[in-house]
Structure 1
Amino acid sequence: MTVRSVITLLILAALAYGGWQAVEHAEREYPEHLPWTPLSLDDPVGRATELKIANLAGDRPACLALFEESSLEVTPLEEQQFTPNCALVEPVALERMTAAYSPGTVRLSCPLAASLAVWERQVVQPAARRLLGTGVERIEHLGTYSCRRLYGRSSGGWSKHATAEAIDIAGFRLEDGRSVSLLGDWGSEGPEGAFLRVIRNRGCDVFGTLLGPDYNAAHRDHFHLQAAGFGTCR
């Protein structure tokens, strides 16, 4: 059982002990921590955020409704099956949310877009303003869809990139013109390094899988982000 699961059980036990008034108060004041309350892209990151986003998989209408209720926009795309293992699953297109994406328009799964929306609004932009003194204007990525197995091997499991359910983030362009990159700034003692550590650590409560330079050499220059996964965050 994960730490997050234990915390959820403790919350449920406390609510049960406190009665319906405690439940109603928690639903009103702390919905982000309760797994049964609806997900909102405007809510702070809570103990139940990752689970709620993971539950969007297979429920395209619910995922799209999140964006309809938000100021952020995505464009629904038709699902496409290219090979038995490679497809665009529940795809949407986005050009920008709180920041633009480069290169170009991004095609990715709707739950992953929801994860990015929460991460940008609740983690990335606040951390940039607090630690770097300005917001993020552009997010640099290395792609989403790629019909390949894990690490490009000729055998073995298939990457989540094969279904556009993962994105690799390489760096950030700030509103004042500065750049922050995983390759150049990860591990540094300055504010850029602190910014990257914070958005990685807080991202663990948003994404089901988040892999970066501390995971292995293959991720030395990017964060690999998935909406679904087994809570791997390194």
Structure 2
Amino acid sequence: MCGPGLRLEQRPVTKRRVLLGLIPNPAKGVGLERARLIAAGALAVVAMLAFGLIMTLPERVDVSPTALSVARLDEFAADAPACRAALAANGFETAAVPDVDGAGRCGYTGAVELTRAAHSFSEPMVSSCALAAGLALWERDVVDAAAARHLHQRVARIELAGETYTCRPVAGRRDRRLSEHAFANAVDIRGFTLEDGRVITVAQGWRGRREDRAFLRAVRDGACRHFQAVLSPDYNRAHRDHLHFDLGRDKMCR
């Protein structure tokens, strides 16, 4: 107890909050400005960690029954009805064609004619449904963008280099291995007709005008993301006048 006449001096108590235990109490000699800098640094570290987490998340892939994507082409090769359903759901039209039992191992089952796509074709586009889906995706995702960038107009028609189905071996191979054309699983493209009526052919345009060269290489390079084998005049003389796309077993882009 305090005796009479004695006064007990009380010091005022100052309450301060410490952020996450990282900011020292300014009353202990650390300035308020320094505390703010420490807090800002801590928040920056948290933001960077969050950004890194977001960037490492796997890309979302649409696996719905109506999805049309390159990731589903293997599935479509084994399931033509699913392939046709996905094409139809995305605005493309197909018609079933009769199966072909050709000589030896040649022939196909479950093939379709691509009757409505982003562009018209110079002749009926009959192939495996998976190849038709790959071609439709390539038209939609590659051809128009390349034409707009390099030619400043749209493609009106794709010029095919003959029928997609031909019972023959791979050109230039001594082992006589069958071409993917023998299974309607390949397509050859000889050129493109533009909206203004001008025709760009692979034979003339590959080493022709600068814009034609750039366009043809852009559609060739883009096709490499949609097909297994993509062959151009850069591959060999047998492909000097057309682009070859197929969904066979060999992965090539030349």
- TM-score category, normalised to shorter length: 0.7 to 0.9
The separation in 2 between residues aligned to 1:172 and 1:95, in whole angstroms, is 18
Question: For residues 111 and 78 of structure 1, do their structure 2 counterparts lie closer, same or farther at Cα, with a shift above 3 Å needed?
Answer: same
Higher relative contact order (CA 8 A, sep 6+): 1
Q: Deviations over 1:46-74 (max 9, x none)?
A: xxx3x531332111122111112111111
Q: Are 1:40 and 2:67 matched, yes or no? A: yes
- Gap runs ≥5 in structure 2: 1-51
Q: Are 1:52 and 2:38 matched, yes or no? A: no
The separation in 2 between residues aligned to 1:137 and 1:86, in whole angstroms, is 33
Question: For residues 84 and 94 of structure 1, do their structure 2 counterparts lie closer, same or farther at Cα, with a shift above 3 Å needed?
Answer: same
Q: Deviations over 1:31-60 (max 9, x none)?
A: 37xxx677833x6xxxxx3x5313321111
Moved more, 84-93 or 176-185: 84-93
**Residue type matched to 2:219 in 1?**
I
Say which of 192, 200, 210 aligns to 1:190.
210
Say which of 135, 140, 150 aligns to 1:116.
135
Report how many residues are paired.
Answer: 201
2:156 paired residue number: 137
**Residue type matched to 2:136 in 1?**
A
1:6 paired residue number: none
Cα-Cα RMSD: 2.5
The runs of at least 4 consecutive aligned structure 1 residues that moved more than 3 Å come to 36-41, 152-155
- Gap runs ≥5 in structure 1: 1-16, 44-48
Deviation (angstroms), 1:186: 0.4
Q: Deviations over 1:153-199 (max 9, x none)?
A: 79621111111100100000001111111000103351111000111
Question: For residues 39 and 191 of structure 1, do their structure 2 counterparts lie closer, same or farther at Cα, with a shift above 3 Å needed?
Answer: farther
2:243 paired residue number: 223
- With the length of structure 1 as denominator, give the TM-score of the two structures: 0.77
Question: For residues 153 and 233 of structure 1, do their structure 2 counterparts lie closer, same or farther at Cα, with a shift above 3 Å needed?
Answer: closer
Say which of 79, 88, 93 aligns to 2:108.
88
2:124 paired residue number: 105
The separation in 1 between residues aligned to 2:93 and 2:246, in whole angstroms, is 20
- With the length of structure 2 as denominator, give the TM-score of the two structures: 0.72
Map 1:4-43 → 2, pairs under 5 A: 22-23=57-58, 26-27=59-60, 31=61, 40-41=67-68
Secondary structure in 1 matching 2:190: strand
Deviation (angstroms), 1:83: 2.3
Percent of pairs with identical residues: 37
